[in-house]
Chains A and B, each alone.
Chain A
Amino acid sequence: MSKNEMIQITYREAVREAIREALRRDERVFLLGEDVGRYGGCFAVSKGLLEEFGPERIIDTPLSESGFTGAGIGAALGGMRPIVEIMTVNFSLLAADQIINNAATFLHMSGGCFNVPLVIRMSTGGGKQLAAQHSHSLEGWYAHIPGIKVLTPATLEDARGMLWSALEDPDPVLIFEHQSLLNMEGQLPANAGAVDIDRAQIRRPGSDLSVITYGASLFKALEAAEILAGEGIEVEVIDLRTLRPLDDATFLTSIASTHRALIVDEGWRSGGISAEICARIMEGAFYELDAPVERICGAEVPMPYAKHLEEAAMPQVEAIVTTAKRMVRSNG
């Protein structure tokens, strides 16, 4: 395979490839979750892995989020490198005890005796008309918790590359895969491998406004940037990639040259990660600003089912375009 050879791949396949590679590279790695085996994963991410790696390494669990997440923590303590899959972030609330009270605390509470090298993957986000118990974006909320790391791969490269870095991390890492990205298709180098998991990345450079975002909203921001470019407004689009630890240096540096910041976050506004980013900008770049920081967030409602309402509840391209124009044209 030549070094630069590109392959056509979906986000789902990229994650699957990452899991497959991890299972091949490290015999301590195994996948644990509801319907990851025979069913092929509720979003078909792990399809085919059972046949390839067998039931000892692709383990179907009963419906017991707390039980199997805790078992993942225990197995990590026992020297394994489990990948726990939780169907959606909403169901992870049944395992919140294990994630927050155990995985996040063990190293510190034990004074350094026991670290937990565990990876938990789950889907997140709206856009599929799955209503109020399957569509929320709680990754920002998990980012509140010291002791865990929170990754939000948006690109194919990150979907493919973040898992291995997460598995090599000695501490618990949560990976949030946005439901609406799973079918996203594109080109990826055939030999794509691990990527860093602690830096934000500028996905599109620009000089007029910094748009700070992550996950599926990244592509809305990029689409908006394209439209705005047609109107002479150059937007810098920053993909946070990791919500904890938050790489604020990247967006603060960006703001130092654009002097305007817009945060786009599917999560709720009140007390969300957007509020945290905003606060860091106040602390670190207040005198750089030519206009107030603005936010486009998920509307403060449980996610509605009807398509038009769901769309209205989520950040959309049009809102980004309008807000960006207003911000840039206001002469601070």
Chain B
Amino acid sequence: MNAKSPSSLSGAQVDREHAHHLLHQMLRIRRFEEKSAELYTLMKIRGFLHLCIGEEAVAVGVCEALEPEDGVVATYREHGNALARGISAGAIMAEMYGKQEGCSRGRGGSMHIFDDKTRFYGGNAIVGCGLPLAVGLALADKMQGRKRVTCCFFGDGAVAEGEFHESMNLAALWHLPVFFVCENNLYAMGTALERAQSVTDLVRKAASYNIASSAVDGMDVLTVEAAAKEAVNIVRREQEPYFLECRTYRFRAHSMFDPELYRSKAEVEKWKKRGPIVTLVKRLKKQGLLSDVELEQLEQQVAREIEEAVAFAENGTWEPVEDLTRFVYSERG
């Protein structure tokens, strides 16, 4: 199981309806992110905004593999994870507007999307800090005899943090059902992986903790989905952690304040050709599984959803300032 080279299923046959579903999910994320960037320049959204454009296949493929009762811990680049997990676009958009209809009542913003119904535990903006939480959530499941999986997303940058190593060790040592998903987009802000790691093969790091691990082409949603399903099965069945490295790329800047001095335009263009949406569309069309009309219908459906999300956020209300200090401590009923 350990240290598989990136596998790809790009030749395999796919179910038409399911393929459309995956494409739809990725388009939702892409258009949502594009709209967010636009709203940022209009100053409707403030603070830090990290877009996951280019990385949609990871969020969608992985969330497809999860059951409703499973938990998710994510990073500040989490809109895609949240949408794929089932949090409504309106609740996320309203959150970024700072409205009290937002999923975190406007107290979190773009980097802190939370939702109890889908067991989405953030939106964590300290690099690496979500990993120990995932370990603990899994520990609680194990202690209470539940067969749930905790899925933890983090970037390649987090792998350099102590919390990554502590969490790998604890999850393996205590046999905990954590599904570690590394969204390796090759950069932590401006620091390329090979400038940050003495060993750039991240699978080897997980393997060194005796954690079953593999790497996949994170630009291919079907590959990610298949690998994630296999991994989640192992985690649920064996009650052991799994580490999946998804090799992906962010097409946009790290955040809205990044002139991208650290990489070439040519490099970005090269990756864009391998974009998760263009490649899936091309492939489905080639296999006769998607027509131009169907694609257009999907796009329109997504456009309506985003429009409604923006309207929901626009029509949202500001929490009264008198409520400022609520939720510092629990309100006892």
Contacts and interface: CB of A to CB of B under 8 A. Distances in A.
A202 interface: no
A108 B328 contact: yes
Interface in A114-141: 114-115
Interface in B137-178: 137-141, 143-144, 150, 162-163, 166-167, 169-170, 173
B52 to A, nearest CB: 20
Interface in A63-107: 64, 66-80, 82, 97-98, 101-102, 106-107
B143 A80 contact: yes
Given A75-B139, A76-B136, A78-B139, A111 B107 contact: yes
* Chain B contact surface mostly: mixed
Contacts of B169: 62, 64, 67
Contacts of B138: 74, 78
A61 interface: yes
B328 A147 contact: yes
A75 to B, nearest CB: 4
A186 interface: no
B140 A75 contact: yes
B135 A97 contact: no
B143 to A, nearest CB: 6
B131 A70 contact: yes
Nearest to B144: A79
Interface residues of A, number: 40
B121 interface: yes
B170 A111 contact: no
B122 A64 contact: no
Interface string A34-62: 00000000000000000000001000011
Residue of A71, A106, A147 most packed against chain B (CB within 10 A): A71
Nearest to B330: A170
Nearest to B104: A111
A61 B330 contact: no
A71 B139 contact: yes
B143 A30 contact: yes
Given A62-B170, A101-B126, A111-B104, A80 B140 contact: yes
A112 B173 contact: no
Contacts of A147: 328-329
16 contacts: A62-B166, A70-B167, A71-B136, A73-B136, A74-B136, A75-B139, A76-B140, A77-B136, A77-B140, A79-B140, A80-B140, A80-B143, A106-B122, A107-B329, A113-B114, A170-B330
Interface of B: 71, 100, 102-108, 112, 114-116, 121-124, 126, 129, 131-141, 143-144, 150, 162-163, 166-167, 169-170, 173, 326-332
Interface of A: 30, 56, 61-62, 64, 66-80, 82, 97-98, 101-102, 106-115, 146-147, 149, 170-171
